[in-house]
Amino acid sequence: MPYTLVLLRHGESTWNALNLFTGWVDVPLSDKGRAEATRGGELLREKKITPDILHTSLLKRAIVTANLALEAANLDWIPVRRDWRLNERHYGALQGLDKKATRDKYGDEQFMLWRRSYDMPPPNIDPAAKYSQTREPRYVGDPVPLAECLKDVVARFLPYWHDHIVPDLQSGKTVLVAAHGNSLRALVKHLDGISDHDIAALNIPTGIPLVYELDEDLKPLVKGGTYLDPVAAEASIHAVANQGNGPVAGLTKLAETRV
């Protein structure tokens, strides 16, 4: 029997709608995002995929998405574990900035390096800045980053994967992970063995369950997994890639500079 893992990026947030870098800023879902989350749960029910346990970040856009999806699937009651290691990538000093204005100011190449390079973090946030999380009570005892690149997210996500998610899968549970664009990119990179270079081109759509069947070595039976609504996923992936209005040229340039 393969293991079943369901990944769900939160529905559109109010800051996704405004095109702002979000990171660890705890913003709510937009009305569209709430509808996407409910639709995600309906898809789970329609496809008869029944999570036994939920893992989420500490951010309300992932938490509320999971709640809405589980309500739609009539699974509100399943156990849940939340951890900062599933949080979005900390976007450092970019948090709260407009993506298009940032691209216009710094240029396509720098913008895409900050958004999609594997190992170049954005500038550190000032711990005293408005959108810093340094003093938030929910992170007491945890290391609060000042900025992270995707490599940093992989490094802090994988211990949680091995210590908490893998044991749930190995005990036969269907596991739902509700998280974020970049924390899920980190996990997909690991699952599919995507190179540091190629991960730049991967974007995760909002609110559409992505199902992985994994063999006993935790290798995907289908590389890339299966979106429960592939048509909507394609449109949403395109929208995510286009945030800031310069993705195609930017990604090509990034790919060329990283070869």
> Which residues contact ligand DG2 (rule: CB under 6 A)?
9, 13, 16, 21-23, 88, 91, 115, 180-182, 240, 243
Q: CB of 38: closest distance to ligand DG2 in angstroms? A: 18
User: Is residue 99 exposed (0-12), middle (13-18) or buried (19+ Cβ within 10 Å)?
Assistant: buried
Separation of alpha carbons 91 and 95, rounded Å: 5
Can you give the three-state secondary structure of 229-256, one letter per residue? Answer: CHHHHHHHHHHHHCCCCCHHHHHHHHHH
**109 an active-site residue?**
no
d(CA 66, CA 8): 8
Pick the catalytic residue from 10, 55, 90, 180: 10
- Minimum separation from the CB atom of position 255 to ligand DG2 (A): 17
Instruction: Spot the catalytic one: 88, 90, 148, 180.
Output: 88
Q: Compute the half-sphere exposure of residue 248: CA atoms within 13 Å on the CB side of its CA.
A: 2
Q: Is 164 an annotated catalytic residue?
A: no
120 residue type, one letter: M
Q: How many CB atoms lie within 10 A of CB 55?
A: 24
Min separation Cβ 240 and ligand DG2, Å = 5
3/91 with CB nearer ligand DG2: 91
Nearer to ligand DG2 among residue 52 and residue 196 (C-beta): 196
Q: Which residue has the tokens 């048509």?
A: 231
DSSP for 9-36? EPPPBHHHHHTB--TT--PPBPHHHHHH
* Beta carbon nearer to ligand DG2, 12 or 169: 12
Least distance (Å) between residue 259 CB and ligand DG2: 22
SS3 assignment, position 140 = coil
Nearer to ligand DG2 by Cβ, of 9 and 189: the residue is 9
- Minimum distance from residue 173 beta carbon to ligand DG2 (Å): 25
CB-closest chain residue to ligand DG2 = 181
CB-wise, 236 or 243, nearer to ligand DG2? 243
| 3-state helix vs strand vs coil in the chain, percent to 5 | 45, 10, 40
Residues forming the active site:
10, 88
